[in-house]
Amino acid sequence: MTLRALIFDVDGTLAETEDLHRQAFNDTFASEGLTWNWNRDTYRDLLKTTGGKERMRAHADKHNIAFTAEDAAQLHAIKTRRYADLVDRGGLILRPGIAMLIIKAQAVGLKLAVATTTSPQNVDRLCQSCWGQPANQIFDVIAAGDEVPRKKPAPDVYQLALNRLDLSADQAIAFEDTANGVQSAHAAGIRVVVTPSIYSTGEDFTGADWILPTLLPANWTADLARLLPAA
């Protein structure tokens, strides 16, 4: 079928956000009197668990720490505000090729969507930081992790995005940076481009249709170039 939409993951795909998330977690832990401190190696391992609240619970479980779902929700709300503060300081830039691809997609009438495990507030903050506009002025549809029963690598959030777009899986291409994201899009039946981020390099991207270093057009394969709007 004809391509009708591009669906983007957020963290690590639109921008290299994960180190800011890690800093926000660590600042939150310190402010709330927790001795947790996640270095890059620890955080890389924790990223195998999708969702910030789930990530904290995975850490607590690993270390046999009593930590309830309510604890996670309360701490994550503080972390989300801290992350927003860091983003507002200008800590993010779009990954190479993203800005031009979105401009060209809009010019030819493709729908744009987000399918993410992060919160809608974080999506909005990123868009304000990188585009100077709220997310709903960039993307036609935003599907976030807490809106679905299962997070990536389950296909739920991509299925939600497709439902809101009113499109079938073969009318879209997904853009991801992690193995969990690739599995999620693939399970939803969507063709997927993966551009590994600083935290996902070396993961197993089985199921990806294209593996590229960045979304700069010079990296596109011939078959992908036939599908995407020329930059």
Task: Give which of 126, 179, 168, 118 is closest to 143, Cα–Cα.
Answer: 118
Pick the catalytic residue from 9, 124, 156, 177: 9
d(CA 150, CA 52): 14
Token pair listed for 26:
């660590």
Amino acid at 112: L
d(CA 46, CA 163): 30
Token pair listed for 219:
């990296």
SS3 at position 75: helix
| 177: annotated active-site residue | no
| 9: annotated active-site residue | yes
- Measuring CA to CA, how many Å separate 197 from each of 61, 113, 123, 230? 27, 20, 18, 24
Which residues are known catalytic residues?
A: 9, 11
